[in-house]
Structure formats: structure tokens, C-alpha cells
Structure 1
Amino acid sequence: MAEQESNALVEAHPMNGGDGPNSYAQNSTVQKRDMEAAKEMISEAISKHLDIDPNSFSNPSQPFRIADLGCSIGPNTFFAVQNIIEAAESKFKSIKQKSPQFQVFFNDHVENDFNTLFRSLPSTRKYFATGVPGSFYAPLFPNSSLHIIHLSFALHWLSTVPKDHGNSLCWNKESIYCTGKSKEVADAYFGQFKRDMDLFLNARAEEIVSGGLMCLIMYALPNRVKFSDTLAGYSFELLGDCLKDMAKRGVISEEKVESFNIPQYIPTMNEVKEVIKQNQRFRIVSIGTLENPSSVLTDQMFVGHLRAIVEGVIKNHFGDEMDTDELFSLCLGKLRESCHLFDDEKYLKNINLCIFLKTQE
């Protein structure tokens, strides 16, 4: 009952489902490039830091269990899982032990399009696939049941937008996202991020086996850089301007625009390290950065990625009054007026972290 209540308190914002032109499946090439960049780091980390007890797999029916949390609908999750399995097979080979059977758990919110996910499962897969619906901010698996946990580009989604009031300094009326410009707003969002990360780390610490490995690929900012000074932040700024334009024309409610906030927080590298250290359940055994691929996107691709990620949040907030086709058409027009920003180093400051964790012994 406690786990059900915990899941119920978490807001769900799944990516666009299906396999149509606005789906996440068709608009996640940036994430795919990041996973390709992380492949070597993952292989090296599994080789160096994954501890395997040969006696644990003496029984042929004992599987090696992998969980991909926040998996969405593919195909990136399948690519990540394949990388992990190949590295795990190499690890077993290095200790002269036959590879066990692999069981992979694909997790995301209950609203995730699991039908599309499982229709897309690779026919050549070398694992048994299982779906696990629920928030990763709550317990999902039995204690000491997972050997490798993987999560990519999901921990910046908060369980909820920080609660504010119209007369509060942390009321984010002027923007639809946490820009980092207001200390009060940034502190409120970081506070929510810390609470969510504590829930996440505490749950995973119980679920991972002794010697197991957790890989987190996260959006992050260099220390002392504001999110508004990145291309992703600028795209949210344009999206907010489009919403305000629609409100001025009476297409949507101005009050709804003022109360709309995207429940995301992009932490700095130091903030990520601080949260993990303060939680005390895990230690960082390896950390690296991935090359930022945003500059290879066209304006059409960029808006397609943006739509696949936040359209659901927008529809949930504005309801039937919102014409998202019009909204993202306006956003594309504004972005084309600023297409030079794709090559402006000023807006290419965000980084992607690849962090490997083991439980504190």
C-alpha cells in the first residue's frame, strides 16, 4: 500500500507514444547519439567495477537481471540494453564463466506506451523482456534482485513542480521553466530535485545486489552556468513566448500560461555529486562527460524533439483549449529566426554526465 501511495503522488509525463512523426520513437536521435558515445564508458565500467560471484550463477536457472528505468518506447532503450549485455558477456568470459540467461526489466510510468515498446522489441534479442510500470522514485523490485541498473535522460524530470503561491518569491510566473536567474526559484527546484534523488537512490540501494553497478546518464550544467544560457533553455524560452502570444490573442488563458511550469531541473555537476554524497547510499566509482550533440540538429529536428518530450505536459495543463499543432508551428517559426544559435558557443554549454555508482559497503 505504501508503494502504491508513493507512486500515486508522482506526476507522470510520458513521451509522445506511437511511431508517428511526432512520436518520441521518431524524435530521439540526440539521445541515441549520446548512448553511442557512452557505449565505451559503459563497457569499461562493467569490466572494471561490476563484481560477479561465480557461485551466484552456478545454477543455470539463475538469470542476470538488468533494469532500464524511464525506458520510454524505444528504440534507444534496446540499444542501451544490448550494449550492457555485450559488456556483461565479456565480463563473464574474462572470469572464464559461461554467460547466464539475461532478464531485462523495462520500466516507465503506467501511462507510457508499453504497447509500442513491446511491438518494437528486437527479434534477435538475447534476453527475456518484462515490463515494470511505475515511478522510479518509488520501490519497483525485490531487495537484492538487480545486477545492473541503467537510466538515461530521465532524472531531470521532477516528481512534481515545487509548490508555490502567488505572493511567494519562488512563484515562477514569468517563465515556464527554471531558468536559474531567480535564486528563490532555483532553490525551490533544486530542493525538489534533492528530495526526488533521495527517494530514487534509497529505493535502488535496496534493489541492487552486492557488487552490482548502476549507470546514470544525465543532463547537467557546468558549474555556475544557468539553464537559460543553453540551447535547451533558449528553446523553452521560445516556447514560453509562443504561449504568451497565444494568450494575448485570446486563444488560451493567460492565467494558465502564468501557472504553467515544466517539471524539470537540470543540475550542475557539483550539485549531482553533492546529492549523491549527502544521500550516503552510493559512491561514485567513475564519472565522465559526453560530447554535446545539439549542434548537429536542424531547426525542424529540434522542434520535433521538443514536441515529443513536452507535448504531453502541455496538453495535461491546458486541456482541450490548446492547439499544439499551432503552438509548435509558432515555435518553429521563432526558432528559424534564431537558427544561428545552433552554432553559437554561448548556447552550447550544457553537458551530459555518465555516472557509475556502487552501494556503500
Structure 2
Amino acid sequence: MAAEDIGKSSREEYSMKGGNDVYSYANNSSYQRGVIGTAKELITDAIAEKLDFNNIVLSNTFRIADLGCSVGPNTFFAIQNIIEAVQCKGKCQGLDPQLLEFQVFFNDHTSNDFNTLFKSLPPDGQYYAAGVAGSFYCHLFPNSSLHFVHSSYAIHWLSKVPELVVDKTSPAWNKGRIYIVDSEEDVVKAYEAQYAEDMECFLHARAQEVVCGGLIALIFAGRPNGAPHSQTPHTFIFNLLGSCLMDMARKSKVSEEKVDSFNIPTYWMSPQELEAAVHRNGEFRIERMEKLPGVINFRDLSKSQVIASNLRAVLEGLIKAHFGDVILEELFELFRNKVEEQLPLIMSFINTDFFALLKRKVKD
């Protein structure tokens, strides 16, 4: 069985909240935009130093894919950075910038709000845009068709909840919790195994799609090498949300069984884990891996409200599909209150975002 077909039938979809309302991802992803901004210079340098322009661009069309693009506007910001860097690279190598055309593929799940995405396309975009619906754990593009792949704040999403954590007969059954707790080793191992399987599929698919010498830029939230999961702010926040659901279960607002069967399908990998996955795949070389500077952006709202709104933009669809939409307002108000109480501890966490540059090996 091919790597991209492993568990394909059981893959699940998780999309950010679409539209343009107060809780939409478009209006609650300024932090993610800031992280993309911190990586701008690294991507510019990567293209200038590592892109074998004359060898991989055999026509005047340069193809870019943004995997996990969501609804904008962050994806447009990232794409513009890439295009400007490629134009500069081409000009330095004597290519007339007017002759170079760009084709950009915006990829996300079929449930993504592509309508909002394409309605907000920059009117002066210097590229031909296309939407590609489907999981990036699958083969999405023709072989050897992509020159540059970008993905920001997306590969922490697993293809599905690890099956063992919702199996009542398994020692990894995550009863009463919705995410990883370090003390539960079987739960941690179940998440690690799902991550390893998914990254195998991701790299296998990209190895077919990216031209030899092409680049993949990954921006991801993770955790330092050797650090326990509890040291990431995301883990703390997810478990805080889980405690809110258990509070509601005790008040019979939701069933405890529903909470027991709900787990968040994300995994915060370490650079070491990514290196191991790339090594196992064997088709890419890691050209650069480094921690990104911290980003703080709370807009004009209270910190607790920003954290609650951001989490709602990310998880509302997942929660609504499992519990229905009746609990949303009460759940996130309860969560906001708990965040306010725990704010000093939350602010003591250091967000750990990483940049990784992979280069497709040239075949012998």
C-alpha cells in the first residue's frame, strides 16, 4: 500500500471558521500573520541561496502551492513574499521579470470556505490562482509540477484523532480529557504514532509533486527538542478548554460520554522529530531549521478575549460537529473567564515557532 493511502478512508476534515464575522479565522489570525512576517527574510534568503533557478524552471511558469491556506488574508501575504523573492532571483540570473509567470495553488480541505478566500483575492495579484481541495496528506498535484511549497501553521493538524485515545478498551483511552497530558504515556505514544504516520504520507506525496531541486518552506508551532508537551502554551490552553467541557458535563450541559469521545487532532512536533521524518523519507535534505522570534499581537481587545476568539476561530467547526452549536457561547465565555484567571501563567509560556526549509534531492 502506498504511503499516501495509509488510513485514507478514515481521514477527517478540520477547517477554520469561514466568513468574515467577529469569530472568523480571517479576523482572528493576526498572530499567525505575525509569524509569517518573522519568516519573510528567511524565505527570501532561501530562494536567493537555495533555489536552483535555471535547473528547475524549464519554462517561464513558476508553480507555488500553499498547503492549508484557510480563508486569507495570511496566505496572500505569504504568496506575495515568495513571488517577490523569486522575481528578484530571476532578475539576478538575467531573466526578464516580465517573462516569468506564476501559478499559485491554494490548498485546503473541501470544507474550507473557498468562497471567502477567492472573494478576497488581491485585485492586483501577479499570478494565476487556483483552488485545490483535499488533504495535504494525499497526493494533490501532478508529478514534478511544483517548484515551491509553502505551509504555515497547518502541519500540526493530524489527519485524524488517534484511534486508541477514543477506544474504551485501550490503555490510551483519554477519558475525561480532550488532549495530551504528559503523565498519560499511552496517550502521548498514540499521538506520536499518528504524527509519524501522517508525516510519512506528507513527505511521500511532496516527493512526487516537487521538482528535483525544488523547495518546501514549513512554518510550524512546535516544542523544543526533548521538551514535554506540557511546556507548550497550546497544550495548556487545549486542556483548559477540556476542563471547561468537564465543568459543563458536571452541570449536565453536555454528556460526559460526549466529552470522553472528543479529542483535538493536533500534534506539536519538535525539530528533532521533523528531522527524523525527513531522514526516513530520504527524498529531501533539510537546508535550514531554526526557531522564529516571538510574536505578540493582542489588538485592541483584552488578552483573554483575544485568546478565546482565536481558539474559537480554530476549533468552532470541530466542536460544533461533535457537540452541536448550542454550547458554543457558554463554552467560550467559560473558557475566557478561566483564561483571565490563568493569564499570568499563560503569558509565562514562550511560544515556540519554527522555520524549516527542505530541498528535494536531485536524482543521480
User: Do 2:6 and 2:201's aligned partners in 1 also have CA atoms closer than 8 Å?
Assistant: no
The corresponding residue for 2:293 is: 291
Matched residue type, 1:334: K
The corresponding residue for 2:87 is: 89
1:260-339 matches, cutoff 5 A: 260-293=262-295, 298-319=303-324, 322-339=326-343
Can you list the C-alpha shifts for 1:121-175, whole angstroms capped at 9, x where unaligned? 0111111100000110001000010110001111111111111222322111132
Q: Whole-Å Cα distance in 1 between the matches of residues 56 and 30 of structure 2?
A: 40
Give the secondary structure class of the aligned counterpart of 1:212: strand
* Structure 1 residues 82 and 198: CA distance shift in structure 2, 3 A: same
The corresponding residue for 1:135 is: 135
Q: Whole-Å Cα distance in 2 between the matches of residues 291 and 54 of structure 1?
A: 33
Matched residue type, 2:252: G
TM-score when normalising by structure 1: 0.93
Shift of 1:311: 1.1
- Seq. identity, %: 46
Matched residue type, 2:170: S
Q: Whole-Å Cα distance in 2 between the matches of residues 107 and 8 of structure 1?
A: 19
Shift of 1:54: 6.5
Q: Whole-Å Cα distance in 1 between the matches of residues 196 and 17 of structure 2?
A: 27
Q: Whole-Å Cα distance in 1 between the matches of residues 125 and 150 of structure 2?
A: 18
Q: Whole-Å Cα distance in 2 between the matches of residues 75 and 42 of structure 1?
A: 18
Matched residue type, 1:341: L
* Structure 1 residues 186 and 55: CA distance shift in structure 2, 3 A: closer
Shift of 1:180: 3.1
The corresponding residue for 2:356 is: 355
Q: Whole-Å Cα distance in 1 between the matches of residues 155 and 217 of structure 2?
A: 12
User: Do 1:179 and 1:226's aligned partners in 2 also have CA atoms closer than 8 Å?
Assistant: no
* Structure 1 residues 246 and 148: CA distance shift in structure 2, 3 A: same
User: Do 1:7 and 1:135's aligned partners in 2 also have CA atoms closer than 8 Å?
Assistant: no
The corresponding residue for 1:244 is: 246
Matched residue type, 1:28: S
* Structure 1 residues 56 and 260: CA distance shift in structure 2, 3 A: closer
User: Do 1:6 and 1:138's aligned partners in 2 also have CA atoms closer than 8 Å?
Assistant: no
User: Do 1:281 and 1:360's aligned partners in 2 also have CA atoms closer than 8 Å?
Assistant: yes
Can you list the C-alpha shifts for 1:57-103, whole angstroms capped at 9, x where unaligned? 5x5xx411000010000000000000000000011011011231111
The corresponding residue for 2:29 is: 28
Instruction: Number of aligned residue pairs: give it.
Output: 353
Q: Whole-Å Cα distance in 2 between the matches of residues 317 and 32 of structure 1?
A: 29
Q: CA RMSD, aligned part only?
A: 1.9
1:159-198 matches, cutoff 5 A: 159-164=159-164, 165-198=167-200
The corresponding residue for 2:72 is: 74
Q: Whole-Å Cα distance in 2 between the matches of residues 13 and 157 of structure 1?
A: 8
Q: Whole-Å Cα distance in 2 between the matches of residues 51 and 98 of structure 1?
A: 17
The corresponding residue for 1:200 is: 202
Q: Whole-Å Cα distance in 2 between the matches of residues 183 and 45 of structure 1?
A: 38
User: Do 2:56 and 2:214's aligned partners in 1 also have CA atoms closer than 8 Å?
Assistant: no
Runs of at least 5 residues in structure 2 that lack an aligned partner in the other structure = none
Matched residue type, 1:34: V
Range 219-228 or range 77-86, more displaced: 219-228
Range 85-94 or range 297-306, more displaced: 297-306
Shift of 1:56: 4.2
Shift of 1:224: 2.4
Matched residue type, 2:104: V
Give the secondary structure class of the aligned counterpart of 1:106: strand
Q: Whole-Å Cα distance in 1 between the matches of residues 163 and 343 of structure 2?
A: 35
Matched residue type, 2:34: R
* Structure 1 residues 180 and 50: CA distance shift in structure 2, 3 A: farther
Q: Whole-Å Cα distance in 1 between the matches of residues 7 and 266 of structure 2?
A: 19
Give the secondary structure class of the aligned counterpart of 1:53: helix
User: Do 1:25 and 1:75's aligned partners in 2 also have CA atoms closer than 8 Å?
Assistant: yes
Matched residue type, 2:156: H
Shift of 1:29: 0.6
Matched residue type, 2:86: A
